[in-house]
Structure 1
């Protein structure tokens, strides 16, 4: 009890490690351990930067090409907002991960769209001046933690991709981010001949597919990329979205996936968390504590390892906020043997502690520290667990025929008036579970 780690949940990481048994060889299926996280296995998300003049080619005449990709790959495709006059747009491709598939839907969709762009660029070469033709550039927008993983230890991963594709692969500095990028984003650029760039993109996507998100995270990319530059928001062009009709709620109007996302998507859940697979490095709380990114990995580790890489990302500002929660939700937030609180810590990357709410009978204080995105993620995950508990209490007699709330995709969770975020609290103040809950919660 005395050795309890109150800050990072490190005591639970070993027992709750998610294990996905290794690689699939030939026709063998991946063997997955019994313990799974909510929404397992999660969604793969790729954001590719595309020249604005090529967006029409991706969509095709009357949307025929994009609809074909959606139908054949089962991936969702969304062309994200960009400020007026921008020279590039972000195309987001997402789909549920299939661990046993060598080319899962999101990777398949990404490669097909890229092939369409490359084919268009190659046709442009016929009109290009001598000496200019032959080289193309492809850019992906990725979280800084993923960029660091892509480089690998001492640049080993990116070096192998460069050698296999005969292309230059580099992570650009923060100064090269497009105006609509998120704070933790980095641009991965691939330069080479068209076939080589396509091969490099395939290798990059195969590496990054292990960074999975909760399905509720997907709308947050769109919302954050718009609100990151509020002075442009009033002049943003409308979204263009396509997705499999079976993946959307039944109230969709006007055909599958067309029009602004507000037609078929409730307010997005404020999630920003990535779920690591077993082959990823140890949890953040067991790594040197430098700057933790919004995706649960250290954003500053390894990002400078490649000779092609520019300056490493700066450490993101840490904040601390508090939530007041009724004690009746203690079981939901902490979980059996601390399973829920450990999951919240791991998924958000934030430091989460629970303390007795002094002077407020019947409530407890949850203190959350991390980057703004990490704190926001942890707050939403806490609200999600509370919403599930409230729904279960309201209808205890109903048979469980619906999909569990943690895997309902775009469905939102009701807000709780008793939950609120306070201004930053005194950093360094640490509380524990023992003084409030005793041995009943396994601490």
Structure 2
């Protein structure tokens, strides 16, 4: 067996995977027209470059290969971003050039080694490369990874990435890593033929969780939505016309429906797709009026979610 560690100029030559977090606009710049830029990067660097799917505001770009190919890919990305900065500056009066910034996603179990005892390692990286390096204090949502932000000139960034790779190879992640997956942008929901769909780009995608809720809602409500029997999909415009439904809720329970800073009511709005207005408290009245507008399906789901919130509050079940 050949040993995997072959000394090459630039240090260790082992296969490694580095994950980058990018905004949609940055990803567009890396992909280029008809995918030409990323194709060129793959061919010239020899690294595998994968871009996560989805209509998310954030995407993950994964670069895999022997370390020297990774450095080439990073160099190409850093120079591309610098080019974008220069192009955007030609239209603006700003004179000082902002640095290139890349965000790596690193398993939290390796971040300690990157920071070093009392911050010694990260300080050494900043001083020897001239790049700014910051390790986020919190993990990224629903993951055990942290964002490591590097900014500076492309040259400084390349040097810094080389040092980070060495640290990551010397101290592999401990335990299982839950990778960060960016959440899609909140998408509109459409109910049709007893199914819930979320809109992604030009397609409507069936959404099983919301469909389940929707079917529950249908069982709970006394009225059968008109026109719901005909599957109105495709041809989304065939859904029944909007109607309005009013509820009265005791004042002392309205808080559990609104939630902290409106979080719960916004959640109900988003999940049901209905418009929900809560009237101001009337003097001398112990109840508040809630007006729900939307298709019968939207209304029934909104009602179900509101009732579920009330039930969990009254029975002391905690939050739904």
Whose strand proportion is higher, 1 or 2? 2
Richer in helix (by share): 2
TM-score (norm 1): 0.36
Say which structure, 1 or 2, has more relative contact order (CA 8 Å, 6+ apart).
1
